[in-house]
Amino acid sequence: MTLNAIHWRHHGVGLLLAALQLSMLVATNDQVGIPRDESFYFYAADRAGDWVLGLFDGEVESFSREQVDRGFKYNHEHPVLMKMLFGVSHHVLHDRLELLDSNMLAYRFPTMLLAALAVWLTFLLGRMVAGTAAGVVAGLALTFMPRVFFHAHLACFDAPVTFMWLLVCYTFLRATRSRRWAIASGVAVGLGLATKLNIFFVPFALLGVAALDTWAYKRRTGAWKAPEGERGPLTYYTWVAASMLVLGLGVFLAHWPWLWFDTVPRLKAYYAFHARHEHYPVDYLGTLYFAPPFPVHFPFVFTLFSVPVATLALGAVGFVEVVRRFVRQLRDPSDPDRRGAEAMLLVNALVPPLVIALPFTPIFGGTKHWMPAMPFLSVMAGVAAVRMGRGLWRAAAPARQAALGAGVAVAMLLPAAWATLAYGPHGPAYYNTVAGGPPGAAAMRMPRNFWGYSTIAVLPFLDEAVEKNGLVFWHNATAGSVRAYQRDGLLRKDIRYSGDWTVPSSDWGVYHDQREKLPEETDLWRAYGTDWPVDGYFLDGVQLIGVYHRPAPPALPTIPPGGR
């Protein structure tokens, strides 16, 4: 059985699923707070956006070293494709055309769009492997993941690189029998590298798929190369490899003006930064990890606790089914297209968490670092739906089996849909019923905060309670995020930012609940003379953020007329 064909009507179904994702993301934008990194990327985006728009404003000096450094020196640790898109989106959709009222939404819109397109590609992969019903289940499974939903809002790189990883794999699968798609796969690798370093691992993962497919061809035909006048897998994979190497590196180098000057030293600095990346503390199962070696099981246990249970169950069944099909194809290698697709699914579901499982890989941020595996887990959930339909309704026609199985799977995903809407804006605090929800995760000392994002939940209280020109200690929220809230009208503009480590000079303070930050909460207690917050935000009874207020000094006793 060969892979299912993709027609225009299938693209229509996938784009409808993408539209659902995009509409949900836009509708919940002002519920999702700004983590520290995102506030820095807002600033970097404006500088990169200015440079890009300068190319169209007749500013030829945009290619000068001075202009390039001005546009890209800040935050040069990361490629600039997404920062360019964030900045152009903000300048054009908000500043010039005024199509979007919210600055935050204008910065974030490129991420949201790519996250929606990831749903579309997930549907297409599911359709190719197991049919339209499987594709629909796969797209919905990816849409209804609370932690993925959270990161799909942010003007950061994790959701975009998830789309790029998926795009590389999709074009690779199509390129196994097409020279035109081989060109597309090279461009996809370049765009992926221009998004985030994670894509570096994808060609190596796909190399294993290519080697296996080529070996199976040799086993079936007795020759590595196809006969004269035909093309075999060795020919196609050679084209793909050349395209990824030449076009991939070419697109990467061309997209980043920062590398056009002092190219070798700046490339070395870029790779050195990530090779020796700082290790931020992570609270995990009762241990606060500051430095490697980290536990190998971290990404697997975290996935078990943070992906909706129905998605995990369907994904596990689908994984077993894909392995079974793959083994059968190895024994009877008559369908290379399907074998390659199944190998590609298995490899890319495993490689992202395996990279994080290495003892010296940084683990801060949790799920977002192996989020590129989630579309492949979702496709396996779609495979499980079709398999379930075939097992439960043996007498029905295949199309009816698939539809009925998909119906059961969609019903299973309804709690995941509810959880996404209920917990998605606070995605890093979401844990499934295996973990016992947020309270169970808190009891196990699992992390529930992520660099200041939960500030947004207490802004209405601060807006109401803080006196005019009040000084607030914002803890893990940056000055940039506070200004962004004020710019969008989510916080009064007269409320001031006291600065880092400035609790004694503030009258109000917020504390983001993170175990490694406990000394800063005790600073608030000492400075304010109280350990009792006046407000906060709780998820299922678990505190994410607390608000403290310095009590007013006691009134001086009244002095009677004539003295004492």
User: Could you read off the pLDDT tens digit of each residue along the chain, which spans 564 residues?
Assistant: 578 889 999 999 999 999 999 999 999 999 999 999 999 999 999 999 999 999 887 666 788 899 999 999 999 999 999 999 999 999 999 999 999 999 999 999 999 999 999 999 999 999 999 999 999 999 999 999 999 999 999 999 999 999 999 999 999 999 987 888 999 999 999 999 999 999 999 999 999 999 988 888 887 777 788 777 677 788 889 999 999 999 999 999 999 999 999 999 999 999 988 888 888 889 999 999 989 999 999 999 999 999 999 999 999 999 999 999 888 877 776 666 677 889 999 999 999 999 999 999 988 878 899 999 999 999 999 999 999 999 999 999 999 999 999 999 999 999 999 999 999 999 999 999 999 999 999 999 999 888 889 999 999 999 999 999 999 999 999 999 999 999 999 999 999 999 888 899 999 999 999 888 888 999 999 999 999 999 999 999 999 999 999 987 777 677 777 765
Q: Say how many C-beta atoms besides its own lie within 10 A of residue 495's C-beta.
A: 21
pLDDT for the residue 564: 57
Q: Output the CA torsion sign for 471, 476, 482, 488.
A: negative
pLDDT tens digits, 158-202? 999 999 999 999 999 999 878 889 999 999 999 999 999 999 999
Type of residue numbered 398: P
Reported as type and span, the H/E element at residue 511 is strand 508-512
pLDDT for the residue 563: 62
Largest CA distance in the chain: 117
CB 39 within 8 A of CB 374: no
Reported as type and span, the H/E element at residue 536 is strand 535-539
DSSP state letter for 279: -
pLDDT for the residue 442: 94
pLDDT for the residue 59: 61
DSSP string, 40-78: HHHHHHHHHHHHHHHHHTT-GGGGSHHHHHHHHSTTTTS
Report domain extents, the chain: 8-260+283-421, 453-549
pLDDT for the residue 129: 93
Indicate the SS3 state at residue 497: strand
pLDDT tens digits, 273-301? 888 888 888 999 999 998 999 999 999 99
**351, 363, 355: which is closest to 292 by C-alpha?**
363
Measured CA to CA, the distance from residue 489 to residue 493 in angstroms comes to: 8
The two structure tokens encoding residue 502: 């400035």
pLDDT for the residue 60: 65
**197, 186, 22: which is closest to 118 by C-alpha?**
22
- Tally of CA atoms within 13 A in the half-sphere of 527 that contains its CB: 19
- Tracing tokens 């396996």 back to the chain, one arrives at 380
pLDDT for the residue 557: 72
Measured CA to CA, the distance from residue 563 to residue 326 in angstroms comes to: 96
Measured CA to CA, the distance from residue 234 to residue 407 in angstroms comes to: 41
- Tracing tokens 């496709």 back to the chain, one arrives at 379
pLDDT tens digits, 213-236? 888 888 777 778 877 767 778 888
Residue 506's φ and ψ, nearest 5 degrees, are -105, 160
**300, 279, 288: which is closest to 355 by C-alpha?**
300
Measured CA to CA, the distance from residue 413 to residue 438 in angstroms comes to: 19
The two structure tokens encoding residue 411: 């019903």
How many residues are there in the chain?
A: 564
Indicate the SS3 state at residue 335: coil
pLDDT for the residue 49: 95
DSSP state letter for 491: S
pLDDT tens digits, 358-399? 999 988 878 899 999 999 999 999 999 999 999 999 999 999
pLDDT for the residue 258: 95
| CA dihedral of 102, 103, 108, 113, whole degrees rounded to 10 | 50
pLDDT for the residue 277: 81
CB 129 within 8 A of CB 150: no
Distance of CA 489 to the CA centre of its chain: 27
Distance of CA 357 to the CA centre of its chain: 18
